[in-house]
Amino acid sequence: MSNLIPLLSGTGVALVTPFTSSKTIDEPALARVIEHVIAGGVEYVVTLGTTGETPTLSRDEKVRIARLTIEVVNQRVPVVIGAGGSDTKEVIREIEKLPTDHAVAVLSASPYYSKPSQEGLYQHYKAIAEASPKPVILYNVPARTARNINVPTVLRLAELPNISGIKEAGGDMAQCALILRDCPENFLVVSGDDALAFPQIAIGMQGVISVAANSFPQAFSNMVRAALDGDLEKAKKINDGLIEGYELLFVENNPAGVKAAMAELGLIENELRLPLVPLSKTYHDQLRKYITSLKPKAQSLKLNAE
């Protein structure tokens, strides 16, 4: 098993895919977003996660986004590429087409809608791991897939040579604690839930793959680093100031909230592809007010690295 912990501890950001008003990929905006999050101090980037609206992207678009991301990042931070879905063979074909030679790992969301058994989940990931040229990170997000990857299945998968970690977004702290207690020492365990990242790091997770870090990379990554360093008082102080932001970013759906925030920051146009639509006016106004309020709070939130 590859040890991804030294490479992927801290904050990874699940990049949005910016669109123009005609719903084409806005490549200059994607480059701006990447520069914004790297300047904000994130430890790595994740391209083609579900925050990037991958269900609406063609394979050619996915390849172009991955290549542009790798080009703009230019080896300044590690890159993880997402490839998941309900058709195991199709996931493998997608991995074969993506520029994984420039990535450190493949993040693969578990199958959705089909609700496979635990044995089905195991065989799905086993096949992907055997075919992938890079280490595979499991992504458990049962609220979206309708099937939890249970702890025994996670631990069984963790024994496979090319499965090196999990992004855990089930929201079950007991499950997280059991995985952390029983997984191999070099198995990466990161949060997939911004609002729970602080307590999950406190019980042993190595970091988070974040949505909020698209819009608030400096504050969020400073919170994560403080928590990883054991300075829980500092981490809590920063996190307390971000709680309202987390709620607003996810109040209707992801990535409508974070795209609204990033549009307010002048990074992207507030455009999504159907069936997603922009954040409703009521919540957008609340989010605008929150973003404006962050500026005078910058010192108390310790947004600047010290």
| Residue 286 belongs to some domain of the structure | no
Q: Which of 44, 122, 125, 139 is catalytic?
A: 139
CB 33 within 8 A of CB 268: yes
Render pLDDT for 126-137 as a digit per residue (tens, 0 to 9).
999 999 999 999
Whether 299 is covered by a domain: the verdict is no
CATH of the domain at 196: 3.20.20.70
Residue 116 forms part of a structural domain? yes
Q: Is residue 137 part of a domain?
A: yes
- Evaluate whether residue 303 is within a structural domain: no
pLDDT the model gives residue 305: 40
Range of the domain at 33: 5-231
Question: What is the SS3 assignment for 84?
Answer: coil
DSSP 218-263: HHHHHHHHHHHTT-HHHHHHHHHHHHHHHHHHTSS-TTHHHHHHHH
290 flagged as catalytic: no
The answer to whether residue 213 is domain-embedded is yes
> Out of 167, 246, 259, 283, which one is annotated catalytic?
167
Which pLDDT belongs to residue 295?
A: 67
Identify whether the C-beta of residue 91 lies closer than 8 Å to the C-beta of residue 59.
Answer: no
Within-domain flag for 30:
yes
Give the number of domains in the chain: 1
- Banded model confidence at residue 164, pLDDT cuts 50, 70, 90: very high
Q: What is the pLDDT of residue 1?
A: 73
**pLDDT at 297 (0 to 100):** 52
- 289 lies in a domain? no
pLDDT beyond 50 at 300: no
Per residue in 59-114, pLDDT (tens digit) is 999 999 999 999 999 999 999 999 999 999 999 999 999 999 999 999 999 999 99
**Residue 301 clears pLDDT 90, i.e. is over it:** no
Query: pLDDT: is 299 or 176 the higher one?
Result: 176
Known catalytic membership, residue 289: no
Output the average pLDDT for the chain.
Answer: 95
